[in-house]
C-alpha cells in the first residue's frame, strides 16, 4: 500500500473524533454558547468507554456511558456559565482541566492496556475500487458519523428546532420576547455538545486507537473547536475540515513508513501547524466570519 492509499483508507477514521466533537460544538455555538472544555470532556468519555470495554461491557454500553458522562460534565459547565452567568471562557477551561484530571485518575490503573476494536464494514463493489476503495471500508461508527453530519445539516436547514437554536444564538432577547425558552435551549445544546464530545473520546480510545494512555486525546478537542471556526459554522465545511485534519494526521505516519528523513516530532505537530495556518487565513476574511458567525456567541443572557 502506497502513501496515498494509506491516507485515503484511514482518513475518515482519523477524522471521526474531530468530526463528532466539532459537530457537537457547532450546535453549542449556534445556540450562542462557547464551551472551551471539549478536550477534557473527550478525555472523560474516552476513559469511561475504555474501562467498560476492557471489563467486557461491550462497545454499545461503552458509547452510551461515554455520551452520558460527557453530557453530565457539560451540564456542570452549563449550570455555572448559564445558571450563574459566569464567564464562559474561564468556566470552559476549568471544566476542560477537570475532565482531563478525572481521566488521568480513573485511567491510571489501565495505562498501556488494550481492547479489541470493532470490525470494518465494506461497501460492496465500491470497496474494491483502486486507490479510493479504502474510503468504503470503515467501521460502523464512521458510517454513523456521516449520517449524524447529514442529520445536523438538515436540522439547521429545514427543522424548527434548528431554527430555534439559531434564533437563540443570533438574538436571545428577541427569541425570548416571542416565547422561546432561551436558557433551556442553551442547556439542551450544551448537553448535546457534551454527549458528542464524549462519543468522540469513546471512539478514539476503543476503536481508532484501542488502548489507554494518559493524554491520548492529544489536542483533538482544541482542533475540534478550531474546526467550527475553520468551517465558518457550516456543517459541510466542518466535515471537509475534519477530513483534512484526519488526512494531515496520517501524513506523518505515511512519511515515516516511506523512509522520509524528517524528525518525528515535526511530523507529529503537523495537525496543529495546519490549524494555526488555517485559522490565520480564515480570521483574515472578516466578511466571511461576519456572514456566518453567531452574533451573541459567548454573551450571557439575562431575562
Whether residue 182 is contained in a domain is answered as yes
Distances (CA, A) of 135 to 73, 148, 286: 34, 18, 35
Whether residue 18 is contained in a domain is answered as yes
Which residue is it, cell 475540515? 241
Distance CA 194, CA 248 (A): 26
Whether residue 281 is contained in a domain is answered as no
| pLDDT tops 60 at residue 86 | yes
Please provide the average confidence, as pLDDT, over all residues in the chain: 90
- Which residues span the domain enclosing 165? 12-218
Whether residue 91 is contained in a domain is answered as yes
User: Residues 22-73: pLDDT tens digits?
Assistant: 999 999 999 999 999 999 999 999 999 999 999 999 999 999 999 999 999 9
Cβ proximity of 57 and 234 under 8 Å: no
Whether residue 104 is contained in a domain is answered as yes
- Number of domains, the chain: 1
Question: Who contacts 9 (Cβ-Cβ below 8 Å, separation ≥6)?
Answer: 1, 133, 134, 135, 137
User: Residues 165-191: pLDDT tens digits?
Assistant: 999 999 999 999 999 999 999 999 999
Question: Who contacts 75 (Cβ-Cβ below 8 Å, separation ≥6)?
Answer: 187, 190, 191, 194
Whether residue 67 is contained in a domain is answered as yes
Whether residue 272 is contained in a domain is answered as no
Whether residue 3 is contained in a domain is answered as no
| pLDDT tops 90 at residue 239 | yes
Amino acid at each position: 500500500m502506497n502513501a496515498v492509499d494509506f491516507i485515503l483508507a484511514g482518513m475518515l477514521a482519523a477524522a471521526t473524533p474531530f468530526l463528532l466533537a466539532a459537530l457537537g460544538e457547532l450546535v453549542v455555538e449556534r445556540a450562542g454558547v462557547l464551551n472551551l472544555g471539549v478536550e477534557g470532556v473527550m478525555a472523560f468519555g474516552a476513559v469511561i468507554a475504555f474501562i467498560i470495554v476492557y471489563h467486557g461491557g461491550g462497545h454499545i454500553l461503552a458509547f452510551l456511558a461515554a455520551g452520558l458522562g460527557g453530557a453530565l460534565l457539560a451540564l456542570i459547565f452549563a449550570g455555572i456559565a448559564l445558571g450563574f452567568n459566569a464567564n464562559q471562557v474561564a468556566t470552559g477551561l476549568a471544566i476542560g482541566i477537570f475532565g482531563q484530571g478525572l481521566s488521568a485518575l480513573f485511567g491510571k490503573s489501565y495505562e498501556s492496556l488494550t481492547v479489541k476494536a470493532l470490525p470494518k464494514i465494506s461497501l460492496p463493489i465500491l470497496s474494491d475500487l483502486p486507490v479510493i476503495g479504502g474510503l468504503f471500508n470503515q467501521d460502523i461508527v464512521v458510517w454513523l458519523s456521516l449520517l449524524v453530519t447529514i442529520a445536523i445539516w438538515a436540522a439547521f436547514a429545514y427543522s424548527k428546532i434548528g431554527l430555534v437554536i439559531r434564533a437563540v444564538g443570533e438574538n436571545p432577547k428577541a427569541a425570548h420576547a416571542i416565547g422561546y425558552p432561551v436558557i433551556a435551549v442553551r442547556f439542551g445544546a450544551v448537553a448535546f455538545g457534551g454527549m458528542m464530545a464524549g462519543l468522540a473520546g469513546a471512539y478514539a480510545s476503543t476503536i481508532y486507537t484501542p488502548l489507554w494512555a494518559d493524554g491520548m486525546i492529544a489536542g483533538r478537542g482544541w482542533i475540534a473547536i478550531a474546526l467550527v471556526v475553520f468551517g465558518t459554522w457550516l456543517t459541510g465545511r466542518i466535515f471537509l475540515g475534519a477530513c483534512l485534519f484526519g488526512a494531515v494526521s496520517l501524513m506523518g505516519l505515511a512519511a515515516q513508513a516511506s523512509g522520509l528523513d524528517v524528525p518525528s516530532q515535526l511530523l507529529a505537530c503537523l495537525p496543529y501547524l495546519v490549524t494555526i495556518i488555517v485559522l490565520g487565513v480564515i480570521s483574515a476574511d472578516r466578511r466571511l466570519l461576519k456572514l456566518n458567525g453567531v452574533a451573541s456567541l459567548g454573551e450571557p443572557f439575562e431575562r
